[in-house]
Amino acid sequence: MGWSRRSPAKPLYSPAERRRRDSSPWTVVQAVLAPLQFLIFLVSFCLVVRYLLTGEGFDPATISVVVKTAALYAIMITGSIWEHEVFGRYLFAPAFYWEDVFSILVLVLHTAYLAALFFDWLGPAGQMWLALAAYAAYVINATQFLLKLRAARLARPTERMAELVEAAR
């Protein structure tokens, strides 16, 4: 049994993309919105679970899911602008393709929640279960992004070397 050599992973950002990322004001917006959205999610998750366990607090849980959904829309819109500035496309840049695919699912589930709320579909408990499904997808998607950004941070020395080689040319 022989060992195969794997080629090194392609860096997340080219040197030019890294410069655009570092100079974009949308990078700061994303850095603020991501943890803010996560904090909103944690509060909302607790309120939704409380409602499902006790039957109490439907209004605060509902408001929290609507606020979480608004935060999601904000991060999706600004993230698309960021992706366009850095990679030249609003969605599905190769570096974040699968994260964007799953982001669409997260957006669809949150939007389905808003539709269920607006049209009074599913009843209160059904709406809260739909919110939990949206939240489960959100957690998976957030994990995707965190793993991708961690991999990029770990690959930073390799990327720095590529930048130095490019600068020397």
Question: Long-range contacts for 35-44 (Cβ within 8 Å, ≥24 apart)?
Answer: 36/71, 37/68, 37/71, 37/72, 37/74, 37/75, 38/142, 40/64, 40/67, 40/68, 40/71, 41/68, 41/135, 41/138, 44/68, 44/131, 44/135
Global pTM? Answer: 0.82
For the residues 159-167, what does the mean pLDDT come to? 60
pLDDT at position 169 over 70: no
pLDDT at position 2 over 60: no
Question: CB count, 10 Å around CB of 130?
Answer: 22
pLDDT in tens, 31-46: 999 999 999 999 999 9
For the residues 144-157, what does the mean pLDDT come to? 81
How distant, in Å, are the alpha carbons of 70, 77, 99, 101, 108 from that of 104? 15, 12, 9, 5, 6
pLDDT at position 138 over 70: yes
The three-class DSSP label of residue 75 is: helix
